[in-house]
Amino acid sequence: MSAVSPQAIEDSLKQCMDPEVPLNIVEMGLIYRIDVAENNDVNIKMTMTTQGCPLHETLVSDATRFVKKVPGVNNVNIEIVWDPPWSMDKMSEEAKIKIKNMGAGMNTPAPINYETALPQGVGKLVQQEDGSMVLANEHDQGFMVNQAIVDFWKSCNGQRKVTDLVEIFAQQTGLQRNQVEKEVMQLLQQLRDGGLIAIAGQPDTPNVEFKK
């Protein structure tokens, strides 16, 4: 049995995207430690950007799936830790530049009006060969997503207000409305920034730079 290297695990985890920003969990600095035992059991300590994130379980299952793609891996155990707490300092320099560039395009995007906006999902859902899902915008730029985000994107049908979407997301995640309101607003903003949601009456210029 050939030994599995922590580097191979890390490389595979670079395909696992953070559900809140279009960056992978390694460059986000969410992976604190990777240990590979002699029998190729893999133990990982990772964190989340916020303790209230309703996507914990989906992110852990996504990360587990990518670890298991590495040939030879036996059991996978992922432990979520909060010490030390995550901060933007833990992001890779490349990730910080990407975030800065994303922000550069956001000079004056109109904020999403909680009461009147009727978000409409745009783009298409693409299933990859490995079973992972990607939402692609009209420029064919893809963002890796999990089932929770896909369900939310589908629920944006252009007829529901944000308050209705919060209610649906709360039911999907089993959390209280007040626990998911902030998450829903962030998710809407991120999907909109990626050109995956259109809001009637507001210009929809994606805030990300597209490669021609």
Q: Tell me the C-alpha distance between 149 and 156, whole Å.
A: 11
CATH number of 110-199: 1.10.10
**Bridge partners of residue 77, in order along the sequence:** 43
With a cut of 80, say whether residue 57 has pLDDT above it: no
Query: What digits encode the pLDDT tens for the residues 62-98?
Result: 899 999 999 999 999 999 998 998 888 899 988 888 7
Element containing residue 124 per DSSP (H, E): strand 124-127
Domain residue spans of the chain: 6-90, 110-199
pLDDT at residue 48 in the model: 86
Query: Rg of the Cα trace of the chain?
Result: 18
Q: What is the pTM of this model?
A: 0.54
Which of helix, strand or coil describes residue 89? helix
- Other beta carbons within 10 angstroms of residue 209's beta carbon come to 12
> Does this chain's domain 6-90 share its CATH topology with 110-199?
no
Q: Tell me the average pLDDT across 192-211.
A: 63
CATH class held by domain 6-90: alpha beta
Query: What digits encode the pLDDT tens for the residues 12-46?
Result: 999 888 766 778 899 999 999 999 999 999 999 99
Q: Helices in the chain by DSSP H: which ranges?
A: 6-13, 56-68, 93-104, 147-155, 162-173, 177-193
